[in-house]
């Protein structure tokens, strides 16, 4: 696993190599793709690059902009959140965070490579 960090130039903390590939076509085209942001800061080709603050500000602005339809919720202010990322980390990810009843294969790999102590 150490070779992956060196090869991809990944930060040592809060990061581990992972890949997800989705293949297929929708049965019908949606009006817009919620939660799908493209561009710098999201796609890392060949190696990790640490996004600059201006890039992160632009990503936050695009998610907060209701006309882009990127946010997975439309009523951030009514829920007491200033930015989409506030909602994402405080509500959405917490709602889906359930402890596993037993060690999953992914958790086993993370423990082996030293990415978690849990």
Which tens digit of pLDDT belongs to each residue from 98-114? Answer: 666 777 777 777 777 76
Which tens digit of pLDDT belongs to each residue from 31-50? 877 777 766 566 777 777 77
pTM greater than 0.85 (yes/no): no
Please give the tally of structural domains in the chain: 1
Answer yes or no: is 81 within a domain.
Answer: yes
54 versus 20: the higher-pLDDT residue is 54
Identify whether 94 is part of a domain: yes
pLDDT tier at 75, thresholds 50, 70, 90: confident
| Residue 76 belongs to domain spanning | 2-112
Torsion of CA 80, 86, 94, 56, to 10 degrees: 170
């Amino acid at each position: 696993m150490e070779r992956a960090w060196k090869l991809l130039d990944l930060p040592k903390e809060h990061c581990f190599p992972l890949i997800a590939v989705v293949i297929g076509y929708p049965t019908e085209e949606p009006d817009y793709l919620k939660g799908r942001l493209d561009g710098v800061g999201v796609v890392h080709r060949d190696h990790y690059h640490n996004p600059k603050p201006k890039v992160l500000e632009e990503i936050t602005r695009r998610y907060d902009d209701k006309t882009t339809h990127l946010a997975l919720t439309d009523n951030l202010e009514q829920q007491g959140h200033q930015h989409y990322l506030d909602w994402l980390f405080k509500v959405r990810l917490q709602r889906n965070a359930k402890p596993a009843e037993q060690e999953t294969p992914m958790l086993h790999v993370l423990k082996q490579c030293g990415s978690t102590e849990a």
